[in-house]
Structure 1
Amino acid sequence: MNAIRYEKDNAGIVTLTIDMPGQAVNTMSPAFAEALEEAVSQLENDDIRGVIVTSGKDTFFAGGDLHYLLGIDESQVESFYDNLTRNKQRLRRLEQLGVPVVAAINGTALGGGLEICLACHYRVVLDKPKSVLGLPEVSLGLLPGAGGVTRLTRMLGIDGALPLLLEGTKLKPAQAHEAGLVDELAATGDDMLARARAWIGASPEALQPWDREGHAIPGGSAADPRIAQTLAFRSAKLRGRHRGLTPAPEAILAATIEGSQVDFDTALRIESRYLTSLVTSPVAKNLINHFFQLNQINGGASRPQGIERAAFNKVGILGAGMMGAGIAYAAAKAGIEVVLKDVSQQGAEKGKAYSTRVMDGLITKGRATDEKKAALLALIQPTDNAEDLAGCDLIIEAVFENVELKARVTAQAEPQLIDTGIFASNTSTLPITGLAKASARPENFIGLHFFSPVDRMPLVEIICGKQTSDETLARSFDFVQQIGKVPIVVNDSMGFFTSRVFRTFMDEGCALLEDGVDPLVIESLARAAGMPVGPLTAQDQVSLKLAYDVRTANRKLVVAEGGEWKVLATERVGNRLVEEFNRQGRAYGGGFYDYHDDGSKSIWPQLCEIFPQSDQPLPEQDIKDRILFRQALEAVRCLEEKVLRSVADGNIGSIMGIGFPQHTGGQLQFINSYGVRAFTQRCLALAQKYGERFTPPALLLAKAEKGETFA
Structure 2
Amino acid sequence: MSAIQYEKNADNIIILTLDSPNQSANTMNADFRVALENIVSKLKSETIITGIILRSAKKTFFAGGDLDELIQARREDATPFFQMIEKMKAEFRYIETLGVPVVAALNGTALGGGWEIALGCHYRIALNDPKTKFGLPEVTLGLLPGGGGIVRMVRLLGLQNAFPFLMEGKQFGIDKAKSLGLIQDTADSEQELMDKAVAWVKANPKSQQPFDVKGYKIPGGDPRTPAVAQVLAIAPAMLRDKTKGCYPAPEAIMAAAVEGAQVDVDTALRIESRYFTKLATGQVAKNMIGTFWHGLNAIKSGASRPQNVAKWQATKVGILGAGMMGAGIAYSTAAKGIAVVLKDVSLENAEKGKAYSQKLLDKKVSQGRISAEKREQILSLITATANAADLQGCDLIIEAVFENPELKAKVTQEAEVYLAENGIFASNTSTLPITGLAKSSRNDKNFIGLHFFSPVDKMPLVEIIKGQNTSAETLAKAYDYVQQIGKTPIVVNDSRGFFTSRVFGTFVQEGLRLLAEGVHPAKIEMAALKAGMPVGPLAIQDEVSLTLTEHVASETRKALQAEGKDLPRSSADDVTETMIHQFDRKGKAAGAGFYEYPENGKKFLWDGLKHWHKDNDITEPEMIDRFLFVQSLDTLRCYEENVLESVVDANIGSIFGIGFAPWTGGALQFLNQYGLDKALARANELEAKYGERFKAPQMLKEKAASGEKIQ
The question of whether the paired residues in 2 share the 8 Å contact of 1:491 and 1:644 is answered with yes
Q: Distance in 1 between matches of 2:602 and 2:125?
A: 50
Report the equivalent of 2:637: 637
Given residue 548 of structure 2, which amino acid in structure 1 is its aligned partner? L
Report the equivalent of 1:415: 417
Q: What is the deviation of 1:674?
A: 0.9
2:290 paired with 1:285: no
Report the equivalent of 1:494: 496
The question of whether the paired residues in 1 share the 8 Å contact of 2:465 and 2:493 is answered with yes
Q: What is the deviation of 1:130?
A: 2.7
Deviates more, 1:580-589 or 1:101-110: 580-589
The question of whether the paired residues in 2 share the 8 Å contact of 1:312 and 1:394 is answered with yes
Among 547, 550, 564, the alignment partner of 1:548 is: 550
Q: Secondary structure at the match of 1:239?
A: helix
**TM-score, normalising length from structure 1?**
0.98
Q: Give the 5 Å matches for 1:438-457.
A: 438-457=440-459
Report the equivalent of 1:659: 659
Q: What is the deviation of 1:607?
A: 3.0
Given residue 272 of structure 2, which amino acid in structure 1 is its aligned partner? E
Report the equivalent of 2:277: 276
Q: What is the deviation of 1:583?
A: 2.2
Q: 1:327-382 CA distances to partner (integer Å, 9 max, x unpaired)?
A: 00001101111111011111111111111111122223222222222111111111
Q: What is the deviation of 1:529?
A: 1.3
Q: Distance in 1 between matches of 2:492 and 2:160?
A: 45
The question of whether the paired residues in 1 share the 8 Å contact of 2:335 and 2:378 is answered with yes
**TM-score, normalising length from structure 2?**
0.98
Q: 1:284-321 CA distances to partner (integer Å, 9 max, x unpaired)?
A: 11111122101111111111112111111111110010
Q: Distance in 2 between matches of 1:171 and 1:463?
A: 37
The question of whether the paired residues in 1 share the 8 Å contact of 2:525 and 2:535 is answered with yes
Report the equivalent of 1:264: 265
Q: What is the deviation of 1:216?
A: 1.3
Q: What is the deviation of 1:598?
A: 2.2
Q: What is the deviation of 1:236?
A: 2.2
Q: Distance in 1 between matches of 2:558 and 2:347?
A: 33
Q: 1:395-418 CA distances to partner (integer Å, 9 max, x unpaired)?
A: 100000000000000000011100
2:139 paired with 1:156: no
Q: Secondary structure at the match of 2:464?
A: strand
Q: Distance in 1 between matches of 2:297 and 2:568?
A: 38
The question of whether the paired residues in 1 share the 8 Å contact of 2:332 and 2:456 is answered with yes
Q: Distance in 1 between matches of 2:455 and 2:601?
A: 19
The question of whether the paired residues in 1 share the 8 Å contact of 2:499 and 2:643 is answered with yes
Given residue 45 of structure 2, which amino acid in structure 1 is its aligned partner? N
Q: What is the deviation of 1:160?
A: 2.1
Q: Secondary structure at the match of 1:120?
A: coil
Q: 1:132-154 CA distances to partner (integer Å, 9 max, x unpaired)?
A: 11111111111111111111111
Report the equivalent of 2:194: 193
The question of whether the paired residues in 1 share the 8 Å contact of 2:101 and 2:205 is answered with yes
2:428 paired with 1:426: yes
Q: Distance in 1 between matches of 2:513 and 2:498?
A: 22
Q: Distance in 1 between matches of 2:537 and 2:614?
A: 19
Report the equivalent of 1:83: 84
Q: What is the deviation of 1:84?
A: 1.2
The question of whether the paired residues in 2 share the 8 Å contact of 1:402 and 1:553 is answered with no
Structure 1 gap segments, 5+ residues each: none
Given residue 537 of structure 1, which amino acid in structure 2 is its aligned partner? A
Q: Distance in 2 between matches of 1:649 and 1:395?
A: 25
Q: Secondary structure at the match of 2:426?
A: strand
The question of whether the paired residues in 2 share the 8 Å contact of 1:19 and 1:56 is answered with yes
Report the equivalent of 2:38: 38
Among 573, 576, 585, the alignment partner of 2:587 is: 585
Report the equivalent of 1:622: 622
Q: What is the deviation of 1:574?
A: 1.6
Report the equivalent of 2:348: 346
Report the equivalent of 1:670: 670
Report the equivalent of 1:470: 472
Report the equivalent of 2:563: 561
Alignment CA distance shift 1:120-1:576 (3 Å): same
2:222 paired with 1:226: no
Q: Secondary structure at the match of 2:708?
A: coil
Q: 1:437-492 CA distances to partner (integer Å, 9 max, x unpaired)?
A: 00001101000000000111111111000111111111111101111111111111
Among 532, 535, 538, the alignment partner of 1:536 is: 538
Report the equivalent of 1:680: 680
Deviates more, 1:356-365 or 1:372-381: 356-365
Given residue 63 of structure 2, which amino acid in structure 1 is its aligned partner? A
Deviates more, 1:693-702 or 1:226-235: 226-235
The question of whether the paired residues in 1 share the 8 Å contact of 2:547 and 2:586 is answered with yes
Given residue 203 of structure 1, which amino acid in structure 2 is its aligned partner? N
Q: Secondary structure at the match of 1:606?
A: helix
Report the equivalent of 2:185: 184
The question of whether the paired residues in 1 share the 8 Å contact of 2:77 and 2:281 is answered with no
Q: Distance in 2 between matches of 1:692 and 1:77?
A: 42
Report the equivalent of 2:110: 109
Report the equivalent of 1:251: 252
Q: Distance in 2 between matches of 1:57 and 1:562?
A: 63
Q: Distance in 2 between matches of 1:35 and 1:147?
A: 19
Q: What is the deviation of 1:198?
A: 1.0
Alignment CA distance shift 1:146-1:606 (3 Å): closer
Given residue 510 of structure 1, which amino acid in structure 2 is its aligned partner? L
Q: What is the deviation of 1:680?
A: 0.9
Given residue 246 of structure 2, which amino acid in structure 1 is its aligned partner? L
Q: Secondary structure at the match of 1:338?
A: strand
Structure 2 gap segments, 5+ residues each: none
The question of whether the paired residues in 2 share the 8 Å contact of 1:44 and 1:97 is answered with no
Deviates more, 1:270-279 or 1:442-451: 270-279
Q: 1:118-171 CA distances to partner (integer Å, 9 max, x unpaired)?
A: 111111111233321111111111111111111111111112211111111111
Say what the alpha-carbon RMSD is for the aligned residues: 1.3
Given residue 305 of structure 2, which amino acid in structure 1 is its aligned partner? R
Q: Secondary structure at the match of 2:27?
A: coil
Q: What is the deviation of 1:422?
A: 0.8
Q: What is the deviation of 1:580?
A: 3.4
The question of whether the paired residues in 1 share the 8 Å contact of 2:680 and 2:701 is answered with yes
Runs of 4+ in 1 over 4 A off after TM superposition: none
Report the equivalent of 2:487: 485
Report the equivalent of 2:237: 236
The question of whether the paired residues in 1 share the 8 Å contact of 2:364 and 2:370 is answered with yes
Q: What is the deviation of 1:558?
A: 2.0
The question of whether the paired residues in 2 share the 8 Å contact of 1:540 and 1:586 is answered with yes
